[in-house]
Structure 1
Amino acid sequence: MASSMSGMFPGQQTSASHPVGGPGGPGQSGFSATTTRAQGNNTLVDELEASFEACFASLVSQDYVNGTDQEEIRTGVDQCIQKFLDVARQTECFFLQKRLQLSVQKPEQVVKEDVSELRNELQRKEMLVQKHLTKLHHWQQVLEDVSSQHRKPSDFPPPGPLAFLEQASASLPPAPLKPN
């Protein structure tokens, strides 16, 4: 894989005498001065930043705002975006190569990172479970409150004409008994 990617970055050493570990092995960096460009000291990150800024500049440029040729505007924006995507792919490739080198040279470091990521994921999921349990308890309480409010009226007979008469007659004093 390392040999198929040689020459991917401008300024990269294309020597065929890479050690078994690939470029970046002991005593050999594989990239000259952190991927410096032939025309200056621009690193891939600097190029990525510049191409990102160029994308925004092309979208807000007065030339494009005042321009009437939509095809020219579209072509210019497409070129800026394509350059950004190309540099982003190169940057991703660089970091993937470094990750591969790290996994070959220090496999225990990769395992430590994986364990750390798994712990973080477990912690995140545990917090999510706790959040859902809190919401569940809240809604169970709301449901209990609502159901208890509905039970109280059901203990009494529904108010109707007969219930009203019973209440009214209960409040009247008893009638005196007439002797026969």
Structure 2
Amino acid sequence: MLILGIDPGTAIVGYGLVKASSGRLQALDYGCIRTPAGEETCQRLATIYTGLWELITRQQPATLAIEELFFNKNSKTALAVGQARGVILLAAAHAGLPVAEYTPLEVKQSVAGFGRAPKEQVERMVQALLALPARPRPDDVADALAVAICHASFAPWRQKEQEAAGR
């Protein structure tokens, strides 16, 4: 299964394409979509949508896994990230991709074994689990790969839940 993991943001959207097969994980592509700080919000969102659409079209993932919005004290930042998530979800819907959403706690738990693991530990575990030559940079990319790894761990359980609900 090809999983496209996404760490949403307005300045940087991290992405990681991970192949999960027979319990093995392989990073096929990873990087980020950047938007210029001075651009209008609508143009930044268009850049995110276009970049993600091109990535989906080129790589043909089976599913998109995205980190849920973490609400912090800065509501302006939360709103901006929410807008970015919206265009990411729209691109997935237009491509007909199923979407799985995970909290930061779930992502850290599945990758590092501890839901409150520091970023550096998550980055090291992503590097180890995917046998990467170096820690992925920037940290948005490591987070996106972690989301894809998380989905690879949870996907069998989700499928069983869906099958049980359909009966």
> Does TM, scored on the shorter chain, surpass 0.5?
no
Looking at secondary structure, tell me which structure has more helix per residue: 1
**Higher relative contact order, chain-length normalized (CA < 8 Å, sep 6+):** 2
Return the TM-score normalized by structure 1. Answer: 0.22
Return the TM-score normalized by structure 2. Answer: 0.23
The structure with more radius of gyration: 1
